[in-house]
Amino acid sequence: MRFLHIADLHFGKYMNEVALVKEDQPYWKNEFIKTVRETKADAVVIAGDVYDRSTPSSEAVALLDEFITELAEMNVPVLIAAGNHDSGQKLGFASSILSRNGVHISGVIPGNGIISHVTLRDEYGDVVFWLMPYIFPALVNDMLGTDFRDYDTACRELLKHQNIDTSVRNVMVAHQNVTRGGIEAERGGSETMVAGVGGIDYSAFEDFEYTALGHIHAAQQVGPPNIRYAGSPFCYHFDEAKYSEKGPVLVELGAKGGKASTEIIPIRPLHKVRVLEDTYKNIINELVSGKYKNEYLKAKITDCKVRPDLAKELRTAAEASGNRMLEITGIYELKRNEENLRDSIACMGGKSVTEHFADFYALMKDGAQPDEKELELIDHVSELLGIDDIDAAADRIIEYSVKQEGRNV
């Protein structure tokens, strides 16, 4: 059994002001269809976030329509589990009729708590694909009459509720925050998930021959090689430019008891995403040289403030060389702010964090001093944060301040 694992298509997504559904996503769709033909895949698995929002645009709906229609006409089964960006009810519309044509969509888990599953066959027998849409504890509690508060326990109990035949090969398709020993997978950059929310340890899926994950936009395995994220089809954020290649995961399953083999099949995007971090002059020279063509660019200027005239010149130079400048930020301003903040903190003297707290307390309480319990609390918090002295505190304050300003430049 050979199938292609993809996830986080986010049809209808914007990158800065660019509507990717106009050119970039249709181009990727066409290239993916070619990949299906070339790899002779037996099925296509989509692990959630088909759309970028629960109410998708008409263009996004039309693109998905074209996508699954082309796959159905090729007699390639399509297996979809809804993600947290999807509306499960809307995505699952007409799923019963579609399933007769090989398009299997699991938008929501029915009230009986049984996850939708589809059985395909090859020369080694049955392969059961379990299509688990995005779950959260309250949803599981409603179905099973339980009172779980964490995602890991809820997911494990839900899986126990399934009648999984472990004598045949099973594949899990899920859109969740899967972790390894409490450590989250490396994010791609455009995920909106809050850190630490919804963690499910990979060991919950150990009984499956392969677990096709969505939710994280960086392609990677979580724990063993057969539990992995496919990542987004191409860069949806400039932070994702650090990844050298993106593409569907080609998964091959042999006989029961064997290991699943995986291979990323790169698909070159219509527009490469690149970050140029240098002085203003050097960035202009790079653009004028014609080194980059047909790319989406972000400029990070290191030696001067971002002014309207400089931004206009950068965008003009990018367009003249056949590129689009989507974002311009100024690292110089952040560095200056960091220097000023550190100078201000240095003026506070060599007191400990607790001593500074006592001074502040006295200032606010007309000379009164904090009691022993309050001082112990501050000591404890300082220890937890690793800021025993004011220099360490300065580092943490600066780190936070620079990150916050960097989002708004």
Q: State the chain's mean pLDDT as an integer.
A: 87
Residues 260-288, mean pLDDT to the nearest whole number: 95
CB atoms within 10 A of CB 98: 17
* Dist. CA 133–CA 353, nearest whole Å: 47
Residue with tokens 């000023």: 340
- Helices 308-320 and 280-288, axial angle in degrees (round to 10): 20
Asked if 273 and 24 count as a contact pair (C-beta separation under 8 A), the reply is no
Homologous superfamily in CATH for domain 2-264: Metallo-dependent phosphatases (3.60.21.10)
- Delimit the CATH 3.60.21.10 region(s) of the chain: 2-264
- Name which of 81, 115, 325 is nearest 215 in CA terms: 81
- Give residue-wise pLDDT tens across range 91-138: 999 999 999 999 999 999 999 999 999 999 999 999 999 999 999 999
Stretch 243-268: mean pLDDT, rounded?
94
pLDDT computed for residue 166 by the predictor: 95
Task: Of 101, 83, 84, 82, give the one whose Cα is nearest residue 92.
Answer: 82
Q: What is the mean pLDDT of residues 197-223?
A: 94
Q: Name the CATH architecture for the domain at 272-332.
A: 2-Layer Sandwich (3.30)
Contact status, residue 80 vs residue 43, Cβ threshold 8 Å: no
Q: What is the pLDDT of residue 245?
A: 81
DSSP E strands: which ranges in 265-382?
Answer: 272-278, 295-301, 324-330
The one-letter code for the residue type at 209 is E
The pLDDT assigned to 193 comes to 53
Average pLDDT on 394-401 reads 54
The confidence score (pLDDT) of residue 408 equals 40
pLDDT at 396: 55
In this structure, of 25-29, 310-314, 405-409, the range with the lowest mean pLDDT score is: 405-409
pLDDT-derived band at 393, boundaries 50, 70, 90: low
pLDDT number for residue 407? 44
Q: What is the pTM of this model?
A: 0.81
Name the 3-class secondary structure at 381: helix
CATH 3.30.160 residue ranges of the chain are 272-332
pLDDT of residue 62: 97
